[in-house]
């Protein structure tokens, strides 16, 4: 049955290739430094505290490539054969789950260099239909640990000593994903005998101009987000702060000999 399907697609001038990956990558540190890197939670003393989804973890990734040659080469009219025959439409479609991020404190600190994370009181991830430009995740789920009122610290001018370490784990929050379509239209015109042709290509990237966010929250650095609401009255914690490229189009003409 599979062979028959391929033969039918070939007769229709259609070629396709699709791949879906469902995975889970776990580690304590992600980067070129490998084992010598400093973990975001636990530091070098308790690296196991940072065990969780890797910065490079994308649960789902689907990529499909489609090539379709427009019918026209078999038309009886020479004019129509030249005008319509040989045109080829190509598309690459990518859907990908967003990368995980970790929420860090913006004010209180444990002063032990083992990572200052928030208390997570609920799941901050929102369903697709519940997300807005200023609420990409539920920021109410993250509470900064209270600052100590112990005179020992207050008398030293240390007003942000956290009474406890937050319970947030590394990379519990999922960032924006990818929904992208690239399309091209091309044709080769034979010129001056065999082995010489003029190739024309019209290419469009993010063809449907679909809005794709790339980063969230003020103070975000790579896979970390900083909750600065206690010290910044204009905090954009939970907001969209970056987007991937919109639609780009280009034309290309190449002579092959």
Contact 205, 153 (CB under 8 A): no
**Residue listed under structure tokens 């600052």:** 147
**pLDDT > 60? residue 7:** no
* Six-digit token string for 245: 């490229």
What pLDDT score does 36 carry?
54
> How many of the other CB atoms lie within 10 Å of CB of 117?
27
Of 11-20, 27-36, 148-157, least confident by mean pLDDT is 27-36
Residue of 226, 188, 212, 211 whose CA lies nearest to 98: 212
Full strand arrangement of the beta sheet holding 100-105: 173-174, 100-105, 224-227
Grade residue 14 by pLDDT with cuts at 50, 70 and 90: confident
Grade residue 3 by pLDDT with cuts at 50, 70 and 90: very low
**pLDDT > 60? residue 10:** no
**Exposure of 228 by Cβ count < 10 A (0-12 exposed, 13-18 middle, 19+ buried)?**
buried
Contact 216, 134 (CB under 8 A): no
228 part of a folded domain? yes
216 part of a folded domain? yes
Backbone angles phi, psi at 36, to 5 degrees: -85, 0
118 part of a folded domain? yes
Mean pLDDT for the stretch of residues 90-97: 96
Strand positions, DSSP E, 70-212: 88-96, 100-105, 119-120, 142-143, 173-174, 178-190, 197-205
Domain that holds residue 218: 32-57+98-179+211-246
68 part of a folded domain? no
pLDDT tens-digit map of 34-82 = 555 668 898 888 889 999 999 889 999 999 999 998 876 666 677 677 7
Give the whole-number percent of the chain exceeding pLDDT 90.
60
Residue of 92, 103, 89, 107 whose CA lies nearest to 41: 103
199 part of a folded domain? no
Q: How many domains does the chain have?
A: 1
What pLDDT score does 137 carry?
95
85 part of a folded domain? no
Quote the mean pLDDT of the chain.
86
Backbone angles phi, psi at 225, to 5 degrees: -120, 140
23 part of a folded domain? no
Reduced to 3 states, what is the DSSP secondary structure of residue 152? helix
143 part of a folded domain? yes
> How many of the other CB atoms lie within 10 Å of CB of 22?
10
**Residue listed under structure tokens 């479609």:** 93
What pLDDT score does 2 carry?
39
Alpha-carbon gap, residue 4 to 210, rounded angstroms: 36
Mean pLDDT for the stretch of residues 207-225: 79
- What does the H/E/C string look like for 7-44? HHHHHCCEEEEEEEEECCCEECCCCCCHHHCCCCCCCC
pLDDT tens-digit map of 105-151 = 999 999 988 889 999 999 999 998 899 999 999 999 999 999 999 99
């Amino acid at each position: 049955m599979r062979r028959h399907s391929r033969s039918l697609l070939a007769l229709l001038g259609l070629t396709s290739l699709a791949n879906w990956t469902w995975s889970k990558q776990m580690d304590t540190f992600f980067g070129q430094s490998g084992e010598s890197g400093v973990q975001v939670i636990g530091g070098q003393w308790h690296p196991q505290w940072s065990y969780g989804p890797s910065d490079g973890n994308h649960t789902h990734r689907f990529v499909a490539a489609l090539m379709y040659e427009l019918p026209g080469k078999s038309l009886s009219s020479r004019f129509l054969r030249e005008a319509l025959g040989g045109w080829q439409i190509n598309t690459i479609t990518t859907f990908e789950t967003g990368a995980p991020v970790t929420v860090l404190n913006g004010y209180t600190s444990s002063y032990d260099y083992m990572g200052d994370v928030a208390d997570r009181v609920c799941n901050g991830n929102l369903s697709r239909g519940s997300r807005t430009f200023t609420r990409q995740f539920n920021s109410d789920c993250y509470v900064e640990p209270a600052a100590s009122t112990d005179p020992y610290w207050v008398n030293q001018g240390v007003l942000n000593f956290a009474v406890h370490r937050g319970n947030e784990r590394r990379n519990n929050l999922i960032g924006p994903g990818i929904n992208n379509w690239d399309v091209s239209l091309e044709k080769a015109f034979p010129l001056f005998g065999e082995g010489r042709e003029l190739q024309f290509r019209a290419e469009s990237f993010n063809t449907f101009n679909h809005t794709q966010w790339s980063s969230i929250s003020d103070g975000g650095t790579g896979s970390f987000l900083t909750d600065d609401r206690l010290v910044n009255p204009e905090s954009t914690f939970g907001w969209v702060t970056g987007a991937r490229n919109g639609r780009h189009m280009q034309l290309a003409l190449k002579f092959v000999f």
